Amino acid sequence: MKTLLIVVHSRTGGTRQMADAAREAASRETGIAVRMVAAGTADCADLLAADGYIFAAPENLAALSGPMKDFFDRTYYGVLGRIEGRPYAALICAGSDGQNAARQIARIATGWRLRPIGEPTLVCTHAQTPDAILAEKTMAPNDLQRCREVGAMFAAGLDFGIF
């Protein structure tokens, strides 16, 4: 059985809802095991045990969130040369555009020689004030549907050997 690993960091709940939506849809694929691990606890063994990855993180101050960046820093060299060719997707929750966080993930994935399954899924909350930025997020149904589609497509692709 193939395994899809979702590594997630979420401070205000938006990214967690996105990751949960992807996990829920991916879990419907019978030939796939889906594991979701917090970025703060995910390690090299988690990456090595998986056949594909979804990295779900918020963009903070126009950059990848600290705990997700820490995950990549802690695991990068430990799996370098050992996960080449595996597929990945990125889910980014941002107050404005999320482009820089997506670029950071893409650069790390390029170093690992991972293959993107598609463009990053960016969800903009338009949170621009301190209160809005720090508030718990409720993601729109259409945004969560996009995340479900990523999870379902990823799992099906793994199950059928496309990825």
pLDDT tens digit string along 129-150? 999 888 999 999 999 999 999 9
Interval 32-53 mean pLDDT: 98
Local structure of 83: helix, strand or coil:
coil
| Share of the chain residues as helix, strand and coil, in percent rounded to the nearest 5 | 45, 25, 35
Per-residue confidence at 13, pLDDT binned at 50, 70, 90? very high
DSSP letter (8 states) at residue 49: T
Distance, CA of 103 to CA of 26 (rounded, Å): 24
Q: Does domain 2-159 have CATH number 3.40.50.360?
A: yes
pLDDT at position 103 is: 97
Q: State pLDDT tens for residues 62-72.
A: 999 999 999 99
Q: Name the pTM for this structure.
A: 0.97
Pairing of strands 52-60, 63-64: antiparallel
Interval 33-39 mean pLDDT: 98
Per-residue confidence at 86, pLDDT binned at 50, 70, 90? very high
Q: What is the 3-state secondary structure (H, E, C) of 126-151?
A: CCCCHHHHHCCCCCCHHHHHHHHHHH
